[in-house]
């Protein structure tokens, strides 16, 4: 399997994505914002289609729109009761925009529609470098924000009294989540973005009550599921996104039983 360059690229891309999805997904689960990951995936699809319409590479449209959409959702709903409403409104607008952009395209829409299901086996060297840069940026921003983000996540009322700006923290975190979604979409696609962002983190937090061990475990689970899914896709000729999703669901079910 490793004799093929595209397989080596796929495994490297899977590891890069796992490094981002583990920490970001852990905070998403902790903050009960898993719906945001789903919405941002659809928003990224609209951004990719809009970028194609404007003659721009779809990856940059995907990144720009997910980051901007994440910041907007965070700014609109910093309280738990407001988050689903804000996320739902952004999701509705994104789906409508994606349909419009696809209808206006006069060239092939294959690069945008491929994002619906992901194409980890099609990752080339320049894409790997772009993914590595996005991963470094995401993790650096998350590390800088982690202290006030943790405080705002576990004790929002106390954090607000202490002077933490909840709206700014929420907007910043969901912007970082937008970067993570842009990474994950290239592996599992828009429709399965829950798989790597939420599945491993949810399983890890069922197995340990301590945050940082849960982050480490979520990262390891995401990496293992992604790499094993790619290997099984090679052996069976079934889609990698299917195998990754099946492994993620199996791990979560095992964590529930445990």
CATH number at residue 94: 1.10.3470.10
Number of domains making up the chain: 1
Q: Are 229 and 13 in contact (CB under 8 A)?
A: no
What mean pLDDT, rounded, does the chain reach? Answer: 85
pLDDT reported for residue 80? 46
Give the per-residue pLDDT at 15.
Answer: 93
165-189 residue pLDDT tens:
888 888 899 899 988 988 888 788 8
Asked if pLDDT for residue 109 goes beyond 70, the answer is no
Is 75 a residue whose pLDDT tops 70?
yes
Res 48: pLDDT: 82
Whether 209 and 99 have beta carbons less than 8 Å apart is answered as: no
Q: What is the mean predicted confidence (pLDDT) over 233-251?
A: 92
The residue segments making up the domain with residue 107 are 5-257
- Considering the chain, what percentage of its residues have pLDDT values greater than 90? 36
């Amino acid at each position: 399997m490793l004799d093929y360059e595209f397989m080596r690229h796929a495994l490297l891309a899977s590891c890069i994505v796992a490094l981002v999805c583990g920490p970001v997904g852990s905070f998403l689960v902790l903050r009960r914002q898993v719906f945001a990951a789903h919405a941002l995936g659809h928003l990224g699809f609209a951004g990719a289609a809009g970028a194609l319409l404007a003659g721009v590479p779809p990856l940059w449209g995907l990144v720009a729109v997910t980051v901007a959409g994440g910041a907007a959702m965070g700014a609109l709903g910093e309280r738990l009761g407001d988050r689903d409403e804000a996320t739902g409104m952004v999701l509705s607008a994104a789906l409508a925009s994606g349909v419009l952009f696809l209808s206006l395209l006069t060239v092939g829409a294959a690069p945008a529609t491929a994002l619906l299901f992901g194409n980890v086996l099609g990752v080339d060297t320049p894409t790997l470098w772009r993914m590595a840069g996005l991963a470094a940026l995401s993790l650096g921003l998350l590390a800088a924000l982690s202290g006030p983000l943790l405080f705002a996540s576990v004790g929002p009322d106390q954090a607000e009294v202490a002077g933490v700006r909840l709206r700014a923290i929420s907007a910043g975190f969901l912007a970082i989540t937008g970067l993570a979604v842009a990474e994950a979409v290239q592996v599992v696609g828009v429709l399965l973005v829950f798989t790597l962002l939420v599945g491993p983190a949810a399983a890890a937090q069922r197995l340990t009550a301590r945050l940082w061990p849960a982050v480490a475990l979520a990262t390891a689970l995401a990496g293992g599921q992604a790499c094993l899914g790619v290997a099984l896709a090679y052996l069976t000729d079934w889609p990698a996104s299917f195998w990754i999703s099946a492994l993620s669901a199996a791990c979560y079910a095992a964590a529930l039983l445990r």
